[in-house]
Amino acid sequence: MDAGAMFARMEPDSDDELISSIAPDVMKCLGRCGFFEKLDGLLSPEDNSIPAQGCDGTYKLSESILIAARFERAELDDIFAVLQSKGGFCDCEVLYNVAETSRMKANYWRARAAGQTALAPHKPHSRPN
């Protein structure tokens, strides 16, 4: 029996409840595999000689990190739903809004405090409702 046959499609309120209920465990798994540090390493490398990868408004970098960490593709939907519930709608927003600390966020605010124009990491994109 496949997983789709075992679980009936849930209503939106049920989805929100499910996401809330799994969020602590998802965040624990992401922390344990070093997800946030690896994403920060790609978007804001510690070594200035390594070029930063840009955010294109998707989870492209996050997905590659999670697949390399042996998360199943089927688990990615749950992970991204949890990240979205915390304000992370793309790779850079995961670091700005979900990660407790990140070089990317620290560099942004350091530049703002110094009176420099902090560049947006990517062009704004639409968010799902």
6: in domain? no
Note the pLDDT tens digit of each residue in 71-121.
999 999 999 999 999 999 999 999 999 999 999 999 888 988 998 876 656
* pLDDT score recorded for residue 117: 76
Cα gap 31→38, rounded to integer Å: 10
In this prediction, residue 108 carries a pLDDT of: 87
Domain-located, residue 125? no
Task: Tally the domains of the chain.
Answer: 1
Query: Which ranges of the chain does DSSP label H, i.e. alpha helix?
Result: 3-6, 12-32, 35-43, 60-68, 73-85, 91-93, 103-113
Query: What is the spatial distance between Cα 22 and Cα 48, in angstroms, rounded to a whole number?
Result: 37
Q: Any idea of the CA torsion for 87, 121, 36, 73, to the nearest 10 degrees? A: 70
The range of the structural domain enclosing residue 63 comes to 11-113
